[in-house]
Amino acid sequence: MDHSAHVDVDDLKATVCAEVDRWADRLVDVSHRIHAQPELAYEEHAAHATLTEVLDEAGLAPERGALGVETAFRASAGRTGPTIAVLCEYDALPGIGHACGHNVIAAAGLGAALAAATLAREGTGRLVVMGTPAEEGGGGKIELARRGAFAGIDAAMMVHPADADLTRMDCIANQQLHISYEGQAAHAASAPHAGRNALDAAVLGYVNVAALRQHIRPTERIHGIFTDAGDKPNIVPAHAEALWYVRSDTMETLQPLKTRVLACLEAGAAAAGCSCAPEWDDRPYADMRDNGPMLSAYAENTARLGRVLAEPSHHQRVVGSTDMGNVSYLMPSIHPIIKVAPAGVPIHSPEFAEHAAGAAADLAVLDGAKAMAMTVVDLWLDAGLLDAARAEFAVATAGSPVAI
């Protein structure tokens, strides 16, 4: 890129930042409105309405209920040039609301789209903004991908809030396992010998997994809860259910861990004289493959805003799983972390939920929108950047298992 082109890019970046500032009050209000009305996976009707209403005001004519997913949306601007997608999340967690800060993700993505769209309409490139519901376990992006939502898109991005400004989140592969146990009911006092305790089967399986945790790699995670544990203490439980998350570094390493976990749970059923029916969720979350060239461009843009991104370290990192990982198997993608809470406040905590509507979160909405909009400009105008992103993506995904 020659110097004159670089000056043009700087001018365009100033334009998109000014556009975010123009929408600033509305974007913060959107974040607060979503935060105040937390909605669970595939139930995000109020958030969907709030976000699409603003897109309508901006003339972007969003498709509501996109591709048959009721709380998804999709809007686009521009007709030529690379197609870059900005993704919004807006579902919440049961009991603790927006303790993952998806209200910030949604408002920042909206702001980036509104700003970049002003240039897309002038022929700079093509923008897609997508509302992706049900990140917290429902696999909304996976469902949308299976319906063709990401066809023709060259690169995708979003930001995620936490307690630091980081280049990436350590997103590992995750698959949910629902398992039900069947035994034989009996009176627990008068005829316990006639019963087969399905809760015992679930408990023994849990203990087996607890023992297994000592002998898995430090990067792997297994955690579960009982979702049905019987009706009354004096009735031998004939039925029990549990929900497990099984996580490993990659989709490939996840497979042998799943086999070991299932063996533990089935052994519990056998020991209790019960049967079990395991059911793996058909939307496993892939590990996140953050694209290096895109991240470098994003980091340069956050530095313009006074946010210097750190690399994750042993003392400062965020570990989890996201369906954005599946998107990163389809195209060059990034999922950087933006600071909204004091260091040490973990996501998925009530304290983090409070910070997700605070002053630092409001600033993160605007800075996240600006940084993503400027990165969209880079991808549109710097052919070398997009080529480098594609080249790294091709190497990273060569021989990878299918993640959709």
Instruction: Round to whole Å and give the CA distance between 44 and 140.
Output: 12
What's the pTM?
0.92
CATH of 3-171+288-397, one of 3.40.50.10260, 3.90.1660.10, 3.40.630.10, 1.10.150.110: 3.40.630.10
Q: Which two tokens stand for residue 315?
A: 């003392």
252 within 8 A of 329, measured Cβ to Cβ: no
Domain locations along the chain:
3-171+288-397, 173-280
Q: What is the pLDDT of residue 6?
A: 52
CATH of 173-280, one of 2.40.340.10, 3.30.70.360, 3.30.70.1400, 1.10.260.40: 3.30.70.360
23 within 8 A of 107, measured Cβ to Cβ: no
Tell me how far CA of residue 56 lies from CA of 63, 64, 77, 89, 338, in angstroms. 10, 11, 12, 18, 27
Alpha helices (runs of H) in 127-229, residue ranges in sequence order: 140-146, 198-212
User: Which among 328, 373, 312 is positioned nearest to 156, based on CA atoms?
Assistant: 328
> Mind listing the pLDDT tens digit of every residue in the chain (404 residues)?
333 445 589 999 999 999 999 999 999 999 999 999 999 999 999 999 999 999 999 999 999 999 999 999 999 999 999 999 999 999 999 999 999 999 999 999 999 999 999 999 999 999 999 999 999 989 999 999 999 999 999 999 999 999 999 999 999 999 999 999 999 999 999 999 999 999 999 999 999 999 999 999 999 999 999 999 999 999 999 999 999 999 999 999 999 999 999 999 999 999 999 999 999 999 999 999 999 999 999 999 999 999 999 999 877 889 999 999 999 999 999 999 999 999 999 999 999 999 999 999 999 999 999 999 999 999 999 989 999 999 999 999 888 777 78
User: Which among 128, 174, 145 is positioned nearest to 69, based on CA atoms?
Assistant: 145
CA diameter of the chain: 89
